[in-house]
Structure 1
Amino acid sequence: MRTDCLAWMGELQTHRWSNDSDTIQLVKPWSQGKLSRQQQENLQHLFWVYRSAFTRDIQEFVKMLPEDYPVELQLSAGCEVDPGNTSKSFIHVAFQGVHILSFQGTSWVPVPDAPSWMKLVIRILNGDQGTREMVQWLLNDTCPQVVSGLLEAGKSELEKQVKPQAWLSRGPSPGPGHLQLLCHVSGFYPKPVWVMWMRDEQEQLGTQRSDIMPNADETWYVQATLDVATGEEAGLTCRVKHSSLGGQDIILHWADGRRTSLGLTVLAVLACLVFLFVLLGLTFWIRRRHYQDIL
């Protein structure tokens, strides 16, 4: 059995705790937030104790299930802190990828369509008053304090704005007499973005947007695809809206995309020709020096 933990502030990972380690790793320079070293060590010890107990409890929990290993439990916990110092906390638990229970107020509550065997689990969990009180303290006191400190310590990075780069290309043909147009958008932060193929001011409902995927530098990438009949691509544009653009949307015309592709092709050909001339010149110079040495 293994337990792996990750902590995030919005879209940025701040902590990592591997099953093979007894120490929570600070991912960012500001991941300690405003906690003192002693507070950090106390929380580390508390989490270590509960992780050890959690491992034992899960082994007992599996004995109550109608199925055997392997099983996967996922726990999502956190809090949202508002500018007025009010907070909203949550804990959700999933079994085999399906949400089964949450912590609400002072007790554990199953979801409406939870399996029947959850009744016994809920009764055992709610019978442990000490753990329930500790969960309340972590959610209502500790979590808002930690999050507020992280918001202050990591403010410059959490509030950064990075403008997207966008370009057009042609994808594989979806069929005879049709084209696939691709609009790529990359390098933007934060994650929310709007990308759409347009004709004049009309959104093209056939636009298919990929999932927003992370880049290695903690920015994001997405692409929008549109299949059209050959000849109908004229007049199409790709529009990109993002908070970093200050209301100045990126608008790429498909004709520009074709010229860009053609320009890149011409540039590549010219580069090859220059390289060829340099190579021929160098060969001529070496041979000339060789003949002069012989004479």
Structure 2
Amino acid sequence: MQPPRCCLLLLLLLYLLISGTRADPEGTFTVRLLQTSVFQNTTFVETEGLGLLEDIELGSLDKHTWAIHFYQPWVRPALPRSDWDTIQNMIKIYLQQFNHLINEGAMQKDVPYPFVAQCMAGCTIFSNRTSHAFAYVGYNGQDFLSFNMDNYTWLPSQDTNLSRYVRDVLHNYTAFTELVEVLFNETCVDDTEVLLHYGMAALERQELPVATVFARTPSPAQLLLVCHVTGFYPRPISVAWLRDGQEVPPGPALSTSAILPNADLTYQLRSVLAVAPRDGHSYACRVHHRSLGTRSLLVPWGNSELVLIAGLGAGLLAAVAMAAITALCVWRHRKRRQLEESESRNSILSRDT
């Protein structure tokens, strides 16, 4: 049995997506290629693939036709057009062999169906043109194998009969190791630059964060201050709470969510600070983001309880004032009617006498 080439699709996609001319990138950029294959049984497999430059989706693999669909208009001009048909055919041949070999190995090791095989490979390019390459294999949503780029060996993430078997198979497949070495250590740095050349405008897109601060009271003895920051791009951001102008250090009272994507290709997160009600301190949420430059976004928390009380007081005073005015008007109206009735009676009595 030939060894399963579990990440060859990723390497082919990497070559496909990063071949071309040179540019001069600045900063740190990561190319990631993802593959997910769901083995329902020995005859039915669904495979999907996705290519990413940072968090920008470059293209995906159609699970029905195994064709690559591009999501960014600037990706296709970076491709070697003369090699396009050849690479497409190589991917289809690989997927056919991949499904056959994985199924054969699963039957030999009595792996129960259905199961999911996942691969992630790519490289990070630093500003000094050094790089760090990586490759991982997952099985049923758990870490399974990782590739050591220093000595070109596969390391099991969990010590099982299946992981040792797959590791040994991959080690015996020397062509795969050579391909990894060439693509990641020789090709990745030079050829990733073409994507940066074509996609720099997308990578440099900046959207300002919008922050709101509000409070929740899970119990009378606790007040949760919530800072919701949304609409920002790129992803890196710094959110902190200030107490009387001083940053609140990490601790059990402070929790920040993961950065989550929005539907409009921006991001959001929440930072929550637990405080005692009416503790006498002032609080503000501070946001640092690339789109703000050297400035920061500072959103103070207004004591909503005091504002509410003040609002109720003002409303109560207004109601009392209106009641007093109404009573005065009624009293004056009655007084006037009584005076008119008295004058009317006096006039009648005068005529009678």
Which TM class, normalised by the smaller chain length? 0.7 to 0.9
1:16-95 paired onto structure 2 within 5 Å: 16-32=60-76, 34-65=78-109, 67-95=111-139
Shift of the alpha carbon at 1:124? 2.1
3-state DSSP class of the match of 1:211? Answer: coil
Shift of the alpha carbon at 1:112? 6.2
Assess if the C-alpha contact under 8 Å between 2:156 and 2:163 holds in 1.
no
Assess if the C-alpha contact under 8 Å between 1:81 and 1:144 holds in 2.
yes
Post-superposition Cα deviations, 1:1-48, rounded to whole Å, max 9, x if no partner, equal: 211111111111111113113211111111235223223433333222
Indicate the residue corresponding to 1:232 in structure 2: 279
Assess if the C-alpha contact under 8 Å between 1:233 and 1:254 holds in 2.
no
163, 166, 170: which is aligned to 2:211?
166
Structure 1 regions of 5+ residues with no counterpart? 262-295
1:1-295 paired onto structure 2 within 5 Å: 1-32=45-76, 34-65=78-109, 67-105=111-149, 107-111=152-156, 113-171=158-216, 173-200=217-244, 201-203=246-248, 205=251, 206-232=253-279, 234-255=281-302
CA distance in 1, matches of 2:181, 2:213: 51
3-state DSSP class of the match of 2:85? Answer: helix
Assess if the C-alpha contact under 8 Å between 1:81 and 1:88 holds in 2.
yes
Assess if the C-alpha contact under 8 Å between 2:239 and 2:287 holds in 1.
yes
Counterparts in 2 of 1:194 and 1:226: CA distance versus 1, 3 Å: same
Question: Which amino acid is the alignment partner of residue 21 of structure 1?
Answer: T
3-state DSSP class of the match of 2:241? Answer: strand
Q: Say which is worse superposed, 111-120 or 146-155, in terms of deviation.
A: 111-120
3-state DSSP class of the match of 1:166? Answer: strand
Q: Alignment length, in residue pairs?
A: 261
Post-superposition Cα deviations, 1:161-189, rounded to whole Å, max 9, x if no partner, equal: 22211111233x21123322211111111
Higher RCO structure (Cα 8 Å, ≥6 apart) = 2
TM-score by length of 1: 0.78
CA distance in 2, matches of 1:218, 1:176: 39
CA distance in 2, matches of 1:21, 1:151: 29
Percent of pairs with identical residues:
29
- The higher radius of gyration belongs to 2
Counterparts in 2 of 1:257 and 1:211: CA distance versus 1, 3 Å: farther
Post-superposition Cα deviations, 1:179-210, rounded to whole Å, max 9, x if no partner, equal: 22211111111111111222021315422111
Shift of the alpha carbon at 1:213? 0.7
Indicate the residue corresponding to 1:266 in structure 2: none
Question: Which amino acid is the alignment partner of residue 158 of structure 1?
Answer: L
CA distance in 2, matches of 1:85, 1:40: 27
Question: Which amino acid is the alignment partner of residue 124 of structure 1?
Answer: V
Shift of the alpha carbon at 1:260? 11
Post-superposition Cα deviations, 1:234-264, rounded to whole Å, max 9, x if no partner, equal: 5111111112211211111111888999xxx
3-state DSSP class of the match of 1:190? Answer: coil
CA distance in 2, matches of 1:16, 1:257: 48
CA distance in 1, matches of 2:95, 2:219: 55
Q: Which runs of 4+ in 1 moved over 6 A?
A: 256-261
Q: CA RMSD in A?
A: 2.8
TM-score by length of 2: 0.66
3-state DSSP class of the match of 2:135? Answer: strand
Question: Which amino acid is the alignment partner of residue 76 of structure 1?
Answer: M
Assess if the C-alpha contact under 8 Å between 2:147 and 2:153 holds in 1.
yes
Shift of the alpha carbon at 1:113? 4.3
